[in-house]
Chain A
Amino acid sequence: MRTYVLGLIANRLGSSALTLLIVSFAVFFATAMLPGDTATILLGQAATPEAVAGLRAAMHLDEPAFLRFARWLVGLLHGDLGTSYVNNVPVADLIGTRFVNTMRLAGITTFFAVPLSLALGITAAMFRGSVYDRVVTVLTIGIISVPEFMIATSAVLLFSVYLKWLPALSFASDATSFAQVLKIYAMPVITLTFVVSAQMIRMTRAAVIDTINTPYVEAAILKGASRWRAVLLHALPNAVGPIANAIALSLSYLVGGVIIVETIFNYPGIAKLMVDGVSTRDLPLIQSCAIIFCVGYLTLITFADIVAILANPRVR
């Protein structure tokens, strides 16, 4: 049986690797194949044809697309992310510290969002149909249907314009004391927690309701187990897989949320770097950031699927 599980996991990892290959292919072709000659763009309108030809040769732009894709991919695997078009600095240097900042923001958000959503999602499922459940459902649908920037601007309006508790913009550089750090992270983390939790609560609630509807939970209730006992001891262990899936899928909403939040709060992370890169059409930077986000997203999804495989007693 163990080899069967290992086989399933290996299969899942293989399909993730294939997906990643297709995705990096798509990112490369979207940015490198589309109209506009890179060398001409870099050198400007006044460039001589010789200069353009020289740069094209230096950047291997004359080679067939597949060769360039392979060269780019091999570079990525060796940690060579290329050189920024705009300021001629290695992309890896630009990304370095900012990557840590983004991971920190994501980490703090996860730390608050996961316990909060699990508690709300599981209790909403337990008291399905009650006023409490309806309030939770309506609020989560409301948050899911509005754009992330609306949650961010509402948070700014509430906490810094009307209540004046927090500064409107955060700059992670001038934080010295713990209280300052708290103030700086408060607004981005509140916004992201809202965005991510809404998804997580809905999916957790659905997953728990699915298991509560099974005959063995009904049997537990019929033999006299309390509602808490039936849910926590009988239903939850079987809902681990779907819940892990819910958490991972919702955390992937961090990617979209982080792009908006870092821009609006001027937070020095890779999402802000990427948005600035799009404005200046700095393609190597955009490619690297896109790949980093895709790798993060795929890792989360793959991890959730593996947890689901391991948590499923039928295959164990």
Chain B
Amino acid sequence: MTTSTALSRRPSYRFSWVGMIGLSIILFWALVALLAPHIVPYPVGEIIDEDYFGPMSGKLLLGSDYLGRDMLSRIIMGARYTVGISLAAVCLACFSGAALGMAAAVIGGWFDTVLSRLLDALNSIPSKLSGLVIAAAVGSSLGVLVVMLAVIYTPGAYRFARSLAVNVNTMDYITVARTRGEGISYIVFSEILPNIIGPLLADFGIRFVFIVLLLSGLSFLGLGVQPPYADWGALVHENIGGLPFGAPAVIVPSLAIASLTISVNLLIDNLPKKIRDRSA
């Protein structure tokens, strides 16, 4: 590759400043989640303030919660659960969804019809409803939450990957690979996947937002992350009593969720076209 083509390519990989803001907020929360135990100002469970729902002050930067614990520390630790659970779930959902979707497109026939029919039906259950039903049946330990969120969002990932893979599947090089006698796993991972990886990554980000919102919603209902752990949704749930006083303990966790989800959306909307539409 010559330098001139490298130069002419560079602008299309450049991020807009809105995308950069999104990316830096995401990196900020990722760092907070990683370093959480080392940067909390006070131990998470410890009651610091005699006053509950205390205001923001020099000692407690984000005020205190319904028991007089430091809100800043609880939000920093909450980042671990919100980001960690959602990330694990979205990886599972997108991997299984994409693998099944590509396999369905390549294999076709009965396998494709039955699988599509089944997953489309599951996709038509509103996500919060499936969350409630599964939480009722198996409870909501951290492991169950990850699997539950992954199962709920696999059908969507499947549908997206399949629709992309069906287009690639008609290309000549796939026919060549088939004629050569390549197996299904080779065609899926070496011929189809590299051609649709860009849009799949964008879908990964959008699905991550959905999962963060569903997890927060379930925790807000008291059916997600259970005490003594608390993600951001659970923090709103336990401090909802402070709402009539306008306590920061109710508002700040919501703002944390919003900052994360809006940043991911901003980043994806401003991804360089090269990454988003590589299949084109």
Binding site for B on A (CB under 8 A): 18-19, 22-23, 26-27, 30-31, 34-35, 141-142, 145-150, 153-154, 156-157, 160-162, 168, 252, 255-256, 259-260, 263-264, 274-275, 277-279, 281, 283, 286-287, 290, 293-294, 297-298, 301
Contacts and interface: CB of A to CB of B under 8 A. Distances in A.
Given A23-B121, A147-B220, A149-B217, A30 B134 contact: yes
B221 A259 contact: yes
A256 B128 contact: yes
Contacts of B122: 22-23, 26
Interface of B: 117-118, 120-122, 124-130, 132-138, 209, 213, 216-217, 220-223, 233, 236, 240, 243-246, 250-251, 254, 257-258, 261-262, 264-265, 269
A234 to B, nearest CB: 30
Contacts of A148: 217
B217 A147 contact: yes
Closest 9 CB pairs of A and B: A22-B121, A150-B254, A278-B136, A255-B126, A256-B128, A34-B137, A145-B261, A146-B258, A19-B121
B132 A278 contact: yes
Nearest to B209: A145
A153 B236 contact: yes
Given A22-B122, A294-B124, A149 B223 contact: no
A68 to B, nearest CB: 15
Contacts of B129: 255-256, 259, 290, 293-294
Nearest to A28: B133
User: Secondary structure at chain A's binding surface: helix, strand, loop or mixed?
Assistant: helix
A161 B133 contact: no
Contacts of B233: 147, 149
Given A150-B254, A275-B132, A161 B125 contact: no
Contacts of A264: 240
A112 B183 CA distance: 56
A141 B127 CA distance: 20
Contacts of A34: 137-138
